[in-house]
Chains A and B, each alone.
Chain A
Amino acid sequence: MKTGIRRTALGVLATLALAAAGAGYLAPAPYDRQFREEPNAPCSRRFPLGTDELGRDRLSRLLYGARVSLLLAPSAALLATVAAALAGGAAGWLGGWTDRALMSGANLVLAMPWMFLLIAVRAALPLNVDPGVSLAVTVVLLGGLGWVPAARALRAGMLRLVRSDFLLQARAAGCGTARLFFVHALPNTKGLLAAQFWTAVPLFLLAEANLSLLGLGVAEPMPSLGNLLRELESFHHVRSQPVVLAPLVVLVALVTCCQLAFPAREEGMR
């Protein structure tokens, strides 16, 4: 039963990833092609998910958007998680002044006026940015913004680990500090890190949409799941055209399937 669910989830994930990767072949139209005579078209054979306000094929935008988001959010989440593992892990592991320094650093990150910082970043970047560079900057920004909660969780987990019997045992077996940290301690935070990673992914998907309001992230006309979700802003819109929920469905499917396919091992953190 459990493996059945897992297989299904993996299947859905693989399909989504393939569909996103093959957007160039699968999409009926380029993502920015405006069928200006048919704005807000309902679902039809020509436009399976209808068209948006500018007459762009929703299915095509969804496929391309999923591709952008599948590249972006997991990379950013990975970056944030790695940063959290190192910072939170080191804080919990080393304790003392390292802990205090790292955690006050983390608090500082949380307390910083991020809005202004992001605006400053945008100001420092040239206006004509290559989409690839823009995506990379977005990944770094999201990762740089999002690691603190995960680092805190990891520090707490690491504090528990440091006092654990099996680490004492590993020390008693003569393991060196680096091995203790990377081989014996870190694998035990896998569940925790995975949980942090999967919470970060949907958050970052949405955060990306907000970044584009500041001229960062994915810019029009390129779609992303985040900016496609903006069509949901109006409740009435959803009621009259429930098909605008498609990006949300894809997002939920992505996150759910990821969690089902790669379950965080609870026993990892006891």
Chain B
Amino acid sequence: MIRCLVALGVLVLSGLAAGEELRFCLRADPKTFDPALVADEYSFAVQYLTGGVLVRFNRRTQAMEPELATSWKVDQGGRRITLQLRQGVRFSDGTPFTAQDVIYTIRRLLDPALHSPIGDSFRSGAGELRAESKRPDQVVLTFPAPVVNLERLLDQVFVQSATSPLKEKAGLGPFVLKEYKTGAQLLFARNPQYWKRDKQGRALPYADGVRLSIQANRETELLRFERGEIDLINTLDTRLYDRLQKEMPRAVADLGPGLDSEFVWFNQAPGSPLPAYKKKWFTSAAFRRAVSGAINRADLCRLALNGHAVPAAGPISPANQAWFNRDLKPHAFDPKGSLQMLEKAGFRKGPGGLTDSEGHRVEFSLVTNAGNPARARLASLLEQDLAQLGIKINIVTLDMPSLLERISRTADYEACLLGFVNTDVDPNGHMNVLLSSASNHPWNPKQAKPATPWEAEIDALMQAQAGLADARQRKAKFDRVQRILWEQTPIVYLLHKNYLVAVSPNLQGADPRPLAPQTYWNIEWIAPSGTRTISQR
């Protein structure tokens, strides 16, 4: 009988809470609920709502801020971090948060048997992690080798309880998972134990709950937004953005360039099945630089992405305030200059198009993946731009697996148009692309030793910056890397797409930024309706 009444009470409460829910869509089900195993953005979203971190990367200021650690200090060249822990914090099930939990979490991440993707970033060298806790409010972690940007990595580490009977289900985040229907939705309730309070001393989060619907179709997502069924859309494509802008101009926001980039590169792999003369073009910096200069990047941004993009100078977007090399400007659109550059390199432009010094017509295929309309438009624009130089491009769209097979295994392609999705602001995030030994080194992967002096220099610079603790020294090295890429143009960077989001005007406290998770990075401060008075920090 009592149980019945309790159930009724819960029903009544949840009914009341519905108006205070924050609602948005995930495009797919989260793959895991284990904070140590998160690898996809949907699992990350769940952890972001339910988990607590020691320090947070503020998406607005791009600075590290205290969360469960009130202060921290990195020393020994990045090997050791001393964390001062917040007191009186409890997990969602009431278990007190202690130094043991931090140690347990890091140990678990580093456990080779767990294969934690997050743990990989911490595994800098052979040896054991040393974890000490001399005082209950302090933890000292000593890694066997320096870990670059140690405190930034902690933004991804959701602290688990070492002792809670609920294990990873006990969280330190603003919400707790209440219900999960596979393929349909995830329901979260506010975590009554959450430690954060606003200036008036009101317990956060402001929202009573979060409802995440699984919705793969973007058109449907937009429709639901228009009907007021959801409050946020994290990434809109340009077409949907422009449509929504006409209908609900107050609800859309162009957050400016994100970290992602679109680019073209030429196959320089010596083992590729291309004819020798084509290899000669593609390994010529003058050729690549000329191609880059013949591309009207402003047109690309304007026509392929409806103006929601900025021309790119290199891999690092201007949105990445700390690491972008401000001295570099995108290669200017200068077809005449490009032609002169090509002529100097022995190419001739005749009525039949551009030919190289041996008389071969300059013609190559540009592969790209199917099903990306913006990229298809980019390809068509490139085709026309290069036709001005007398270069003929054959556009070939391939399904993603075939494309990857060609670019990473058989090297049977000439030029490729693709984009990278970047979530990490740190230069180390580019290691797997820039190192000549990397399997994702696009133009010539898995080199035993660098094929060119400039690739060798990039390798050296990237490794050197990774070993430095001082941010300014690292920046100097990484600026040089960006400069080399700009000069050698192994990758013709085209543009950085802007992040386009939709936020319901009914939300208070939303502060969308072009870094994931764009619209809800400050979710505990977002209030679903105007009924509460809010004082943001």
Contact = CB atoms under 8 A, between A and B. Distances in A.
Complex contact flag A–B (Cβ < 8 Å): yes
A53 B303 contact: yes
Given A55-B303, A127-B414, A128-B364, A212 B397 contact: yes
Contacts of A119: 399, 401-402
Interface stretch (A10-18, A146-154, A215-223, A242-250): A215-223
Interface string A151-165: 000000000000000
Given A34-B381, A54-B303, A54-B377, A128 B363 contact: yes
A34 B304 CA distance: 12
Contacts of A235: 219
A110 interface: no
A212 B398 CA distance: 9
> Which of the listed residues A215, A221, A234, A235 has the most CB atoms from chain B within 10 Å of its own CB?
A215
A234 B402 contact: no
Interface string B400-442: 0110010000001110000000000000000000000000000
Nearest to A127: B365
Interface residues of B, number: 33
A237 B364 CA distance: 33
B154 interface: no
A99 interface: no
Contact of A127 (B239, B367, B370): B367
Contact of B397 (A123, A213, A236): A213
Contacts of A219: 394-397
A214 interface: yes
Contacts of B243: 236
Interface string B287-318: 00000000010010011100000000000000
A128 B394 contact: yes
B468 to A, nearest CB: 43
A129 interface: yes
B377 A127 contact: no
A36 interface: yes
A215 B394 contact: no
A221 B398 CA distance: 15
Interface string A202-234: 000000000011110001110000000000001
Contacts of B377: 53-54
B337 interface: no
B397 A215 contact: yes
Contacts of A236: 243
Contact of A39 (B303, B395, B396, B413): B303
B249 to A, nearest CB: 16
A254 to B, nearest CB: 25
Please tell me the size bucket of the interface on A: 20 to 34
B371 interface: yes
B398 A214 contact: yes
A122 interface: yes
B402 A123 contact: yes
A214 B370 CA distance: 7
A170 B399 CA distance: 54
Contacts of B70: none
Nearest to B222: A236
B379 interface: yes
A54 B381 contact: yes
A158 to B, nearest CB: 39
Contacts of A55: 303
A119 to B, nearest CB: 5
Interface in A189-213: 212-213
Interface string A110-135: 00000000010011000111000000
A22 to B, nearest CB: 24
A213 B398 CA distance: 7
Contact of B413 (A36, A127, A213, A234): A127
B356 interface: no
B383 A215 contact: no
B384 A32 contact: yes
A215 B398 contact: yes
B466 interface: no
> Which of the listed residues A32, A127, A212, A213 has the most CB atoms from chain B within 10 Å of its own CB?
A127
Nearest to A233: B373
Contact of B370 (A34, A39, A53, A213): A213
A164 to B, nearest CB: 48
B380 interface: yes
B381 A129 contact: no
Interface string B228-265: 00000000000100010000000000000000000000
B331 to A, nearest CB: 19
Contact of B376 (A123, A129, A220, A234): A220
B303 A234 contact: no
- Rank and list the top 4 A-B pairs by shortest CB-CB distance, nearest first: A127-B365, A213-B370, A215-B396, A215-B398
21 contacts: A53-B303, A54-B377, A54-B381, A55-B303, A119-B399, A119-B401, A122-B398, A127-B414, A128-B394, A128-B414, A129-B394, A213-B370, A214-B398, A215-B397, A215-B399, A215-B402, A219-B395, A220-B380, A220-B395, A221-B383, A237-B239
Interface of A: 32, 34, 36, 39, 53-55, 119, 122-123, 127-129, 212-215, 219-221, 234-237
Given A128-B394, A219-B397, A234-B239, 15 more contacts: A34-B380, A34-B381, A36-B303, A39-B302, A119-B401, A119-B402, A122-B402, A123-B405, A127-B367, A127-B394, A127-B414, A128-B364, A215-B402, A220-B376, A220-B379
